[in-house]
Amino acid sequence: MTGGQALLTIKDLSVEFATEEGLIKAVDGVNFSINKGETLGLVGESGSGKSVTALSIMRLIKPPVGQISRGEIFFDGENLLAMREDRLRKLRGNRISMIFQEPMTSLNPVFTVGDQIMEAIQLHQGLNKKDALDKSVEMLKLVGIPAPEERVFNYPHQLSGGMRQRVMIAMALSCKPDLLIADEPTTALDVTIQAQIMELMKTLQNELKMGIILITHDLGVVAEICDRILVMYAGQIVEEASVVDIFSAPRHPYTLGLLNSVPAYNHGKELIGPDGKARLKTIPGMVPNLAELTGGCRFFERCFKGASTCREHEITLNTSEPARSFRCLYPVHIGRNEQGFQGEVSHG
């Protein structure tokens, strides 16, 4: 967060989408930065703006549907948002690359995996076909695909989900990027394959010293491989802290609520239901409709600490504690007479 020059710095980013319900701000004033060799976790639920933030870095938000309405994104000192398209194309897939969630839909079904990896290598590194093919085989080997010299001629449908995700990773890493954006890279995979892929990403990061922005809703994955966490809610960053601080001392009630929703986080400290069995401490309600925001704290309706002052004006980030920030007037202090969220009341 401080010290040295950041690899990527996002300043006051806002992204708007034109919808039937009017203009909505999917990302609203987001600020953060990431250093070389660092893994930053971007956590939030559907519609929180985490994927839109990632797509903005790659400048993949296209008018007229969506547009970046405000902000700057500095990569290695240059503003990506003011950059000419041809210059940007030299960075994309080369120094900044991205892994998407769905390995089936993000690979082209009519080309072999080799063709697809070679495309980026030939384009960015100017290798000839033969060298690019050798390099592709080497990349497939690196990501742990058995018999890579045969697999390189396979089509995507001939590979399993885990293998396809490895191909995506091989492709993303083929030009040794400085920054890797991974949008839910393991969500579609089984846990034993997820474990293999996470291990692989950690190893490769050590080797290549790249910065990784990991977008996920899986708090277990985040705990395991991230250094720092950003929690997003309804288009805003509501909390930023080191991974240890987020899990041991969350300040924003939403962060606490998310953690409590995971059965393993609170094991043994849950609420007890009428049947004597454990119940999770849930966050009531659901995320607000971005078209119908009423000002003030966006988490207000679902918060156990909400007070009338929360609604009066936009909540700014509280930076009173070192190396962390949170968007809350009444932050949580675990262990200090906190009630937390209650389990849903039994109906009927």
Partner 1 sequence: MASANSPVPLLEVRNLEQHFIQYRGLISRQRSIVKAVDGVSFHINGSETLGLVGESGCGKSTLGRSILRLIEPSKGTIHFDGEDITKIGDGRLRALRQKMQIIFQDPFASLNPRMSVGNIIEEALIIHQLGATKKEREDRVVELLGLVGLRKESIARYPHEFSGGQRQRIGIARALAVNPKFVVCDEPISALDVSIQAQIINLMQDLQYSLGLTYLFIAHDLHVVRHISSRIAVMYLGNIVEIGDAATIYFAPKHPYSQALLSAVPLPDPKRKSRRILLRGEVPSPINPPSGCKFHPRCPHVMPQCKITAPPLVKLSNQQEAACYLYT
* Residues near partner 1 (CB under 8 A): 45-46, 146, 160-163, 190-196, 198-199, 217-224, 243-244, 247-248, 257-265, 267, 273-275, 277-284, 286, 343-344, 346-348
In a 13 Å sphere around the CA of 3, the CA atoms on its Cβ side amount to: 2
Q: Tokens for 34? A: 């990431």
- Are the CB atoms for 305 and 254 separated by under 8 Å? no
Burial of 206 (0-12, 13-18, 19+ CB in 10 A): exposed
Choose between 190 and 312: whose C-beta lies nearer to partner 1: 190
Q: How far is the CB of 150 from partner 1 (least distance, A)?
A: 16
Total number of residues shown for the chain: 348
Choose between 95 and 279: whose C-beta lies nearer to partner 1: 279
Q: How far is the CB of 207 from partner 1 (least distance, A)?
A: 18
Q: How far is the CB of 222 from partner 1 (least distance, A)?
A: 8
The identity of residue 83, as a single letter, is: M
Choose between 170 and 219: whose C-beta lies nearer to partner 1: 219
Q: Tokens for 275? A: 């049947």
SS3 148: helix
The DSSP code sequence of 157-185 is: GGS-HHHHHHHHHHHHHTT--SEEEEEST
Q: How far is the CB of 347 from partner 1 (least distance, A)?
A: 5
* Distance of alpha carbon 190 from the chain centroid: 19
Choose between 138 and 218: whose C-beta lies nearer to partner 1: 218
Choose between 94 and 255: whose C-beta lies nearer to partner 1: 255
Q: How far is the CB of 250 from partner 1 (least distance, A)?
A: 11
Q: How far is the CB of 15 from partner 1 (least distance, A)?
A: 21
> 34: which DSSP letter?
E
Choose between 220 and 295: whose C-beta lies nearer to partner 1: 220
Helical (H) or strand (E) element with 50: helix 50-57
